[in-house]
C-alpha cells in the first residue's frame, strides 16, 4: 500500500454517487477443469432459508439466526479457550514456501504435491492467479505460482502452464514483476542480483533520528528488511533446477528497462545507484561487523515458538539470512524457525477429481484477534458473562498480555508494557488494535478473579494512551511511524512499509477508552476530533485494516457515539445517509478490494456477511434500528445463513496492505454478523437469550 502521512493508504478516493458498480461484477474465478476457486473447502452448503422476513417477523428471524450462530461459534472454541479461523491470503505464500525448501534442500514430495494441489485449485480461467477472490490476474503471483508448479513437476507445455506463461509474457514477463518476486528468482540465478535494488546491511547502524533508519519502517517491514540486507549483501545463487526462458517476452534480452522517474523517485533512484557503487568499496571489516549486527538483531527478535513477528515473510527471510551466515539447519534457532513455518500450514483434502491432501500456508495466525471478537459477539448475542466458554476465553487472553518491552519502546522508551499481540507468539510487536478489542472483550466477561482483570486492563489502558501519536490518533504497532521516505525506496514496490494512524484503529481505541470511563479525557477528545476530521466528503471513513469504507465507517460510528458524539451530529447523519445510499438491492452490503486503487468501486461489491455486519453496527449505533436499511440488512443475514449457523464468504474483506495484500479471515463471516444480530435484538427490545442447547 502506498501510504500518505495523513494516515490513509493511497489516494483518498472521492465520494461516489449512489448506483451500481462500473459494469457487472466479475464472476468468481474457476480453476482448470471448471472447479470453483471460491469458498474454502470447509465452507459447507449454503442454506437458502425462508423468504426475506417482513417488518413484524424480522426480530424473530434475527433471534433464530443468532441462536444458530452462537451454537456454531461455541463449537469452534479450542479447549484452551481461544478461537482461530483460517487466515487465507494468496498462493505466493505457498509458492515461496516451496522455493524456500528448494533453496535449503529440504523439500519433500508429500509437501510439494499437497502445495501444488492447492495452487492449482486457485488458478483462474485465463491462466493467472489473483491475490483475492474474484480479483484480476496478478503478474508476480502468477510468476511465483508457475515456478512453484514447475518445482512440483508440472510440464511447461501442459495447458494450464502454457496459459500462465503466455499471460506472463503478454504482461512484461519477469522484468515487470515486483522486487520481492525477482529476489526469489535471483536466489536460483533466474534474475541477476545486480539488477535489484541494493540493501546494505550497514543500515543497521543508522541512528534512530536519521532518515531511513530501520525504525522508520513499520514493524513487519523492518523484520523483513533486516534479513534481506544480509541476503542482498551475500547474493547467494543455488543451481536452478530448470530455465525460465518462457517467462520472458524476449529470452535473449530479459532485462528490465529503466523507468522514467521524477521528483523524489528520481532522488531515490540516484541513491540506489550510489548504494550499488558503495557495495564495491565497502570496507570489509565494516561489512562483516554489520552482518554480525544484523544476525544479532534477527536472533534477538525470534519469538518463543521460533517464528519472527508471528508472520511468514520475516520468518522465511530470517531463516535464509541466518543460514547464509553459517547457522546450519540443525542449529536450535533455525530448527525452531523451520518448525514454526510448518505450523502455518493448513492441511485438508483437495476438492474435485483425484483428491489427495492439499496444503495452504497462512501468512499469519490470528488467535488473539479472533478470540476477542468471538467473545464480544457471544456476549452481545446474550451468552451469560459467566458462561464457561467466556471464562476460558478470558483466562487465555489474560495469559497472552505482553509484559515486556518490544520495538515499540524505541519511540516510547519510558512506557511500561501492557498490550496484546495478534498472534500466538509475538511479544516484540503488540498492537493497539488487538489491545483495545481485548479490553472490550474482558469487560464483557464475569471472570472469577475480577482484580486480575482490573490489573490487566489498567496496564493496557496506560500502554495504549502512551502509544498515541502526535496528531492525536493511533497507528497499529508504533507511535508516530509516519515518515514518507521508506515508501519512496525502489525496493518498496509492494505494500505498505509504514504504520501511520488510521481511522479504524483509532476508532477501536476510542471505543475502548470510552468504555473505561475516559470519554472526557483530553487525549480521547483529541482522537475524536481527529476522527471527525478524517471523515470523507461522502460521509464514510477509509478502512486501513479492513475492506474498506464499510470497515472504516463500521468502526468509526460506534466509537464516536460511545465517546459522546450524539446520533444527531452531522457527521453521524452523513454516515447514515451514505450507508443507506450504498446498500445493495438484496439488502446486504459489499465492497470489492478494487476500491483501494479505483474510487469507482467504493462500497460496490457482492454482499458479504462481514461487511453487512459492519454496516449494521454503524447504523445501530446511530439509532437506526427501526429503519428500513437495518430491516433489510438483518433480513439478508437471516436469509443467507447456512444450516450450520455460519455464512459463506469467499470474498476477501481484510487487508494486510490495502489492495496489495488481501486477507480472508475465515471467522469474520461469523463473528461480525452475530455481533450485529445481537445488538439489533437489544436495540429493538428483544435482548437475545441463550437456552440450554446454546450453552
Cell 467473545 belongs to residue: 375
Phi-psi sector, 687: left (phi>0), alpha (psi -120 to 50), beta: beta
Rounded to whole angstroms, the Cα distance separating 15 from 578 reads 9
Instruction: List the catalytic residue out of 433, 504, 592, 648.
Output: 433
Burial (0-12, 13-18, 19+ Cβ within 10 Å), 105 = exposed
Rounded to whole angstroms, the Cα distance separating 298 from 321 reads 9
Element (H, E) at 149: helix 139-151
Per DSSP, the three-state class of 88 is: strand
Contact between 436 and 368 under an 8 Å Cβ cutoff? The reply is no
Q: Report DSSP letters for 681-692, one per residue.
A: HHHTT------T
Phi-psi sector, 272: left (phi>0), alpha (psi -120 to 50), beta: alpha
Rounded to whole angstroms, the Cα distance separating 308 from 319 reads 10
Rounded to whole angstroms, the Cα distance separating 49 from 61 reads 10
Instruction: Give the list of residues 6+ apart from residue 463 with CB closer than 8 angstroms, or none.
Output: 415, 416, 417, 418, 419, 430, 435
Per DSSP, the three-state class of 418 is: coil
Rounded to whole angstroms, the Cα distance separating 190 from 181 reads 11
In this structure, what DSSP letter does residue 358 have?
E
Rounded to whole angstroms, the Cα distance separating 407 from 399 reads 21
Contact between 662 and 366 under an 8 Å Cβ cutoff? The reply is no
Give the CA distances from residue 538 to residues 140, 576, 577, 671, in Å, rounded to whole numbers and listed in that order.
Answer: 34, 10, 9, 28
Sign, Cα dihedral of 544, 545, 546, 550: negative
Give the CA distances from residue 373 to residues 260, 317, 580, 668, 672, in Å, rounded to whole numbers and listed in that order.
Answer: 47, 31, 26, 9, 8
Residue 433 catalytic?
A: yes
Q: Which of 521, 427, 539, 429 has its CA nearest to residue 475?
A: 429
Please compute Rg for the chain using Cα positions.
25
Instruction: Give the list of residues 6+ apart from residue 193 with CB closer than 8 angstroms, or none.
Output: 186, 232, 235, 237
Q: How many other CB atoms are found less than 10 A from the CB of residue 161?
A: 19
Q: Which residues pair with 347 in a beta bridge?
A: 359
Per DSSP, the three-state class of 359 is: strand
Contact between 88 and 329 under an 8 Å Cβ cutoff? The reply is no
Instruction: Give the list of residues 6+ apart from residue 430 with CB closer than 8 angstroms, or none.
Output: 402, 406, 408, 417, 419, 420, 421, 463, 477
Element (H, E) at 93: helix 92-104
Rounded to whole angstroms, the Cα distance separating 602 from 595 reads 5
Cell 558503495 belongs to residue: 278
Rounded to whole angstroms, the Cα distance separating 562 from 509 reads 11
Q: Which of 578, 412, 170 has its CA nearest to residue 162?
A: 170
Rounded to whole angstroms, the Cα distance separating 574 from 538 reads 7
Per DSSP, the three-state class of 425 is: coil
User: How far is Cα of residue 288 from the mean position of the Cα atoms in its chain?
Assistant: 36
Q: Which residues are catalytic?
A: 433
Amino acid at each position: 500500500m502506498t501510504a500518505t502521512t495523513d494516515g490513509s493508504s493511497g489516494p483518498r478516493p472521492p465520494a461516489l454517487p449512489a448506483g451500481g458498480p462500473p459494469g457487472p461484477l466479475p464472476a468468481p474465478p474457476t480453476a482448470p477443469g471448471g472447479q470453483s476457486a471460491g469458498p474454502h473447502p470447509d465452507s459447507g452448503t449454503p442454506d437458502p432459508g425462508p423468504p426475506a422476513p417482513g417488518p413484524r417477523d424480522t426480530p424473530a428471524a434475527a433471534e433464530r439466526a443468532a441462536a444458530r450462530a452462537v451454537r456454531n461459534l461455541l463449537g469452534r472454541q479450542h479447549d484452551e479457550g481461544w478461537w482461530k479461523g483460517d487466515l487465507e491470503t494468496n498462493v505466493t505464500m505457498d509458492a515461496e514456501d516451496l522455493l524456500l525448501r528448494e533453496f535449503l534442500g529440504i523439500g519433500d514430495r508429500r509437501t510439494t504435491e499437497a502445495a501444488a494441489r492447492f495452487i492449482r485449485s486457485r488458478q483462474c480461467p485465463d491462466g493467472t492467479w489473483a491475490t483475492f477472490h474474484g480479483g484480476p490476474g496478478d503478474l508476480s503471483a502468477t510468476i511465483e505460482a508457475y515456478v512453484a508448479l514447475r518445482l512440483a513437476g508440472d510440464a511447461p507445455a501442459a495447458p494450464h502452464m502454457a496459459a500462465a506463461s503466455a499471460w506472463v509474457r503478454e504482461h512484461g514477463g519477469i522484468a515487470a514483476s515486483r522486487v520481492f518476486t525477482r529476489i526469489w528468482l535471483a536466489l536460483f540465478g533466474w534474475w541477476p542480483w545486480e539488477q535489484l535494488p541494493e540493501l546494505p546491511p550497514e543500515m543497521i547502524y543508522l541512528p534512530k533520528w536519521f532518515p531511513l533508519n530501520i525504525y522508520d519502517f513499520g514493524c513487519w517491514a523492518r523484520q523483513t528488511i533486516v534479513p534481506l540486507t544480509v541476503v542482498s549483501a551475500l547474493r547467494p545463487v543455488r543451481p536452478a533446477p530448470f530455465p525460465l526462458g518462457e517467462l520472458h517476452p524476449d529470452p535473449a534480452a530479459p532485462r528490465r528497462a529503466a523507468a522514467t522517474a521524477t521528483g523524489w523517485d528520481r532522488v531515490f533512484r540516484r541513491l540506489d545507484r550510489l548504494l550499488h557503487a558503495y557495495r564495491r568499496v565497502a570496507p570489509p571489516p565494516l561489512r562483516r561487523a554489520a552482518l554480525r549486527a544484523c544476525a544479532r538483531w534477527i536472533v534477538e527478535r525470534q519469538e518463543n515458538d521460533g517464528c519472527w513477528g508471528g508472520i511468514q515473510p520475516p520468518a522465511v527471510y530470517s531463516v535464509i539470512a541466518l543460514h547464509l551466515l553459517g547457522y546450519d539447519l540443525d542449529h536450535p534457532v533455525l530448527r525452531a524457525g523451520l518448525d514454526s513455518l510448518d505450523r502455518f500450514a493448513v492441511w485438508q483434502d483437495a476438492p474435485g477429481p483425484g483428491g489427495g491432501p492439499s496444503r495452504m500456508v497462512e501468512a499469519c495466525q490470528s488467535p488473539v484477534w479472533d478470540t476477542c471478537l468471538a467473545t464480544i459477539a457471544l456476549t452481545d448475542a446474550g451468552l451469560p458473562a459467566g458462561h464457561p466458554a467466556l471464562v476460558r476465553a478470558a483466562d487465555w487472553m489474560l495469559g497472552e498480555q505482553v509484559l515486556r518491552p518490544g520495538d515499540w519502546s524505541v519511540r516510547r522508551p519510558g512506557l511500561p508494557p501492557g498490550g496484546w499481540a495478534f498472534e500466538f507468539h509475538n511479544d516484540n510487536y503488540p498492537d493497539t488494535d488487538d489491545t483495545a478489542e481485548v479490553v472490550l472483550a474482558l469487560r464483557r466477561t464475569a471472570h472469577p478473579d475480577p482484580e486480575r482483570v482490573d490489573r490487566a486492563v489498567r496496564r493496557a489502558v496506560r500502554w495504549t494512551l502512551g502509544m498515541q501519536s502526535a496528531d492525536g490518533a493511533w497507528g497499529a504497532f508504533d507511535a508516530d511511524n509516519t515518515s514518507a521516505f521508506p515508501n519512496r525506496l525502489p525496493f518498496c514496490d509492494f505494500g505498505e512499509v509504514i504504520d501511520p494512524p488510521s481511522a479504524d484503529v483509532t476508532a477501536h481505541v476510542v471505543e475502548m477508552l470510552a468504555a473505561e470511563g475516559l470519554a472526557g479525557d483530553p487525549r480521547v477528545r483529541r482522537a475524536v476530533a481527529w476522527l471527525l476530521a478524517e471523515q470523507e466528503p461522502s460521509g464514510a471513513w477509509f478502512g486501513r485494516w479492513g475492506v474498506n469504507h464499510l470497515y472504516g465507517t463500521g468502526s468509526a460510528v460506534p466509537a464516536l457515539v460511545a465517546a459522546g458524539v450524539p446520533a444527531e451530529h452531522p457527521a453521524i447523519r452523513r454516515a447514515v445517509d451514505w450507508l443507506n445510499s450504498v446498500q445493495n438491492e438484496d439488502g446486504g452490503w459489499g465492497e470489492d478490494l478494487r476500491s483501494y486503487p479505483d474510487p469507482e468501486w467504493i462500497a460496490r461489491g457482492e454482499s458479504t456477511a462481514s461487511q453487512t455486519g459492519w454496516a449494521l453496527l454503524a447504523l445501530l449505533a446511530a439509532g437506526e434500528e427501526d429503519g428500513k436499511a437495518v430491516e433489510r440488512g438483518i433480513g439478508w443475514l437471516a436469509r443467507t445463513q447456512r444450516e450450520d449457523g455460519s455464512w459463506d464468504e469467499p470474498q476477501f474483506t481484510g487487508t494486510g496492505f490495502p489492495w496489495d495484500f488481501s486477507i480472508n479471515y475465515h471467522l469474520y463471516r461469523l463473528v461480525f454478523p452475530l455481533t450485529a444480530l445481537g445488538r439489533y435484538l437489544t436495540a429493538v427490545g428483544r435482548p437475545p437469550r441463550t437456552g440450554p442447547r446454546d450453552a
